[in-house]
């Protein structure tokens, strides 16, 4: 089969939402349709590998924060679908932002009762910045919730999206009777029996037919006619080009728990979602149809099981085909590496694959060669960009609690930072190490993993830092920049890549510094 045919078969997308909107349930049900699991729920139970873990790591897992695989692949109607499951918990938002660099489209899950929540706003903003095509799935329709029009308005206003409903609910909560599928022009009746794989579908091309009254009762039928007519008058018609460019977002309604409305979402997704897209590198734009292989590391996952210190680097293939046992260039190290057992992910199993194509995600066993953002190619020196570090929100000094284990601590911190668990800054003044994280929970995770995986113990000391800003001077030799470095010496640090960072102790001091040194730019992400 030609490369182009393989590319056209691939759809790679991420599912994002606020915690508890039903993301895991939706993932399970999608796998169920793909025949990847026999009964929904299998994903959950097999995802967690019981290792030697203390209670708090167990809690972590039960809270759905650390999951054994974040990539799930399955086939549906001859299409190879790769789902990237993202952590919903806000302390792990940075992991989600990085995952979004590896997807070609996104499904946003929204809870019908809670509407648009804070975490969803942040994630959608990142998708919007990158013009990633989005489909919205409004979940939990079998519960009492907000009116469909109110929800659509809220999505438009809070998320700054332009929506068009491709399905419409018939009633809601106790009165929920089913869904009218505008995309396929049929009615799906809700029985409330989650064991039924697929609900009965009745084709209705014209809503004015009396058959509709017989099916759902005349009150519900009249209500549906009015609302659909109003919706089609208010919202634009679906336009695939606008959707692919990120300017129009189709909306589906359903109940993932009851396996309802999921097939409609999947069928539409398969036919409209983009195949693997070109990606910008610092040197040029790379097309997926190019013969030569290129790919980049967007996530590194070290196993939580301390008996096996295997790290997996997740590589998104951008162009060409990736073959087992073929040497590829690691651009940052400028050396060739070959991989004897690249993993692909099918539902909850890992399998060794011989060939992978653009859009696929491959797990490579890593002994410490990779860090996030690394590029692999067949020889061309290109660097993919678009994997930023965000300014952390919590800062603490990290101290060695066992002087005999300083080497282990150094190695542990180094590898965990490569994995993107947190960010490391070294003060210019005295070289003290500072760890910056998005959420306070990560400090516990780092402490636990340093002890159990590297045999090193650490303690933390609080540090009053409001924001970390990456510094970009107009002219490094200017008097203004020299003065800035002299006056702010004790607030300056270097990040892991050696970039200069200003650690502002308050909003006020940051504003004053910005005013005093107008030729210096202060960035809140490491990419500028």
Read off the pTM. Answer: 0.77
CB 70 within 8 A of CB 314: yes
CA distance 396 to 399: 10
CATH of the domain at 346: 2.40.30.10
515 occurs within a structural domain: yes
CB 527 within 8 A of CB 385: yes
Largest CA distance in the chain: 82
Residue 181 lies in a domain: yes
User: Bridge partners of 434?
Assistant: 397, 425
Which of 272, 302, 329 is the last residue before a domain boundary? Answer: 272
- Domain check: are 262 and 315 in the same one? no
- What pLDDT does 368 receive? 75
Instruction: Please determine, for residue 40, whether its predicted confidence score (pLDDT) is greater than 50.
Output: no
Note whether 264 and 296 are same-domain residues.
Answer: no
State the pLDDT confidence band at 39, using cuts at 50, 70 and 90: very low
Query: Is beta strand 79-85 parallel, antiparallel or unpaired with respect to 71-76?
Result: antiparallel
User: Is the pLDDT assigned to residue 426 strictly greater than 90?
Assistant: yes
Report the pLDDT value the prediction gives residue 51, as an integer from 0 to 100. Answer: 34
Cβ within 8 Å of residue 518, ≥6 positions away: none
Q: What is the pLDDT of residue 418?
A: 77
Question: Domain holding 426: CATH number?
Answer: 3.30.70.3280
Query: Is residue 17 a contact partner of residue 88, using CB atoms and an 8 Å limit?
Result: yes
Please tell me which residue, 172 or 349, carries the higher pLDDT value.
172
Q: Which residues contact 156 (CB under 8 A, 6 or more apart)?
A: 162, 163
Q: What value does the mean pLDDT of the chain take?
A: 81
Contacts of residue 11, defined as CB under 8 A and 6 or more positions apart, other chains included, come to 79, 80, 81, 82, 104, 105, 269, 270, 273, 274, 275, 359
- On whether both 258 and 286 belong to a single domain, the answer is no
What's the pLDDT score for residue 195?
Answer: 53
pLDDT-derived band of residue 136, with 50, 70 and 90 as boundaries? Answer: very high
Separate counts of helices (H) and strands (E) for the chain: 15, 31
Question: Is pLDDT larger for residue 19 or for residue 80?
Answer: 80
Q: Is 40 in the same domain as 118?
A: yes
Of 320, 318, 310, nearest in space to 355 by CA:
320
Q: Let me know whether 104 and 151 are in one domain.
A: yes
Q: Which of 249, 272, 295 is the last residue of a domain?
A: 272
Q: How confident is the model at residue 427 (pLDDT cuts 50, 70, 90)?
A: very high
pLDDT tens for 507-524 read: 999 999 999 999 999 988
Total structural domains in the chain?
3
Among the listed ranges 16-25, 316-325, 344-353, 417-426, which one has the minimum average pLDDT value?
Answer: 344-353
Q: Are the beta carbons of 378 and 294 closer than 8 angstroms? A: yes
User: What CATH number did the domain enclosing 140 receive?
Assistant: 3.40.50.300
Same domain, residue pair 95 and 181: yes
**94 plus 60 within the same structural domain:** yes
322 pLDDT higher than 60: yes
pLDDT over 80 (residue 105): yes
pLDDT band at 393 (very low <50, low <70, confident <90, very high): confident
In a domain, 429, yes or no: yes
CA 415 to CA 4: how far, in whole Å?
Answer: 37
Same domain as 495, residue 511: yes
352 and 229 both lie in a single domain: no
- Percent of the chain past pLDDT 90, that is, above it, reads 15
Same domain, 399 and 503: yes
The boundaries of the domain holding residue 106 are 11-70+84-272
Are 342 and 459 part of one and the same domain?
no
Q: State the average pLDDT over residues 63-68.
A: 44
If you write DSSP's letter for every residue of 303-321 in order, what string do you get?
A: -S-TT---EEEEEEEEES-
Greater confidence, 249 or 526? 249
Q: What average pLDDT does the segment 108-115 reach?
A: 87
Percent of the chain with pLDDT over 70: 85
Residues 63 and 196 in one domain: yes
Tokens of 466: 């409001």
In terms of Cβ atoms closer than 10 Å to its own Cβ (0-12, 13-18, 19+), residue 279 is buried
pLDDT tens digits, one per residue of 277-304:
888 888 888 898 999 999 998 888 765 4
Would strands 186-189 and 178-181 be described as parallel, antiparallel, or unpaired?
Answer: antiparallel
Q: Give the distance from CA 450 to its chain's centroid.
A: 26
pLDDT > 80? residue 247: yes
Out of 343, 377, 411, a domain closes at 377
What's the pLDDT band for 133 if we cut at 50, 70, 90?
very high
Across 234-254, average pLDDT: 89
């Amino acid at each position: 089969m030609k490369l182009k045919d393989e590319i056209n078969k691939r759809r790679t997308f991420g599912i994002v939402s606020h915690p508890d909107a039903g993301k895991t349930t939706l993932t399970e049900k999608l796998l169920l349709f793909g025949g990847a699991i026999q009964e929904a729920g299998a994903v959950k139970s097999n995802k967690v590998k019981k290792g030697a873990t203390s209670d708090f790591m167990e809690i972590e897992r039960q809270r759905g924060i650390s999951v054994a695989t974040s990539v799930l692949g399955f086939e549906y109607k001859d299409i190879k679908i790769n789902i990237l499951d993202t952590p919903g918990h806000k302390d792990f938002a940075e992991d989600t932002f990085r995952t979004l660099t590896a997807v070609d489209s996104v499904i946003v899950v929204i809870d019908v009762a809670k509407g648009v929540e804070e975490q969803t706003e942040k994630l959608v903003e990142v998708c919007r910045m990158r013009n990633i095509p989005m489909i919205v799935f409004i979940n939990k329709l079998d519960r009492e919730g907000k009116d469909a029009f109110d929800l659509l308005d809220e999505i438009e206003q809070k998320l700054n999206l332009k929506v068009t409903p491709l399905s419409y609910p018939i009633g809601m909560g106790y009165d929920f009777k089913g869904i009218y599928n505008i995309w396929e022009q049929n009615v799906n009746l809700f029985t409330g029996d989650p064991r039924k794989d697929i609900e009965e579908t009745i084709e209705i091309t014209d809503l004015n037919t009396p058959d509709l009254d017989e099916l759902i009762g005349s009150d519900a039928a009249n209500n549906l006619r009015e609302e659909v007519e109003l919706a089609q008058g208010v919202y634009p018609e679906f336009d695939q080009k606008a959707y692919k460019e990120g300017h129009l977002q189709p909306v589906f309604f359903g109940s993932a728990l009851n396996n309802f409305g999921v097939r409609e979402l999947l069928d539409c997704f398969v036919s409209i979602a983009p195949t693997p897209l070109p990606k910008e590198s610092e040197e040029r734009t790379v097309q997926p149809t190019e013969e030569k292989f290129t790919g980049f590391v967007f996530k590194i996952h070290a196993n939580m099981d301390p008996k096996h210190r295997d790290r997996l680097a997740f590589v998104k293939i951008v162009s060409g085909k990736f073959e087992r046992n073929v040497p590829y260039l690691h651009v940052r190290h400028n050396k060739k590496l070959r991989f004897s057992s690249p993993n692909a992910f099918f539902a909850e199993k890992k399998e060794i694959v011989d060939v992978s194509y653009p859009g696929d995600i491959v797990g490579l066993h890593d002994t410490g060669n990779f860090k996030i953002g690394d590029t692999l190619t067949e020889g061309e020196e290109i660097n993919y960009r678009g994997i930023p570090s965000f300014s952390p929100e919590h800062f603490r000094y990290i101290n060695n609690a066992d002087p005999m284990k300083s080497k282990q601590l150094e190695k542990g911190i180094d590898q965990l930072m490569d994995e993107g668990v947190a960010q490391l800054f070294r003060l210019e003044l005295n070289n003290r190490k500072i760890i910056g994280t998005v959420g306070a929970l990560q400090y516990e995770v780092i402490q636990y993993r340093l002890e159990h995986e590297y045999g090193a113990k650490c303690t933390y000391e609080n540090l009053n830092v409001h924001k970390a800003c990456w510094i970009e001077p107009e002219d490094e030799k200017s008097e203004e920049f020299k003065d800035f470095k002299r006056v702010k010496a004790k607030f300056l640090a270097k990040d892991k890549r050696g970039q200069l960072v200003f650690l502002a102790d308050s909003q006020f001091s940051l504003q004053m510094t910005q005013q005093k040194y107008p030729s210096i730019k202060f960035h809140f992400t490491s990419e500028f």
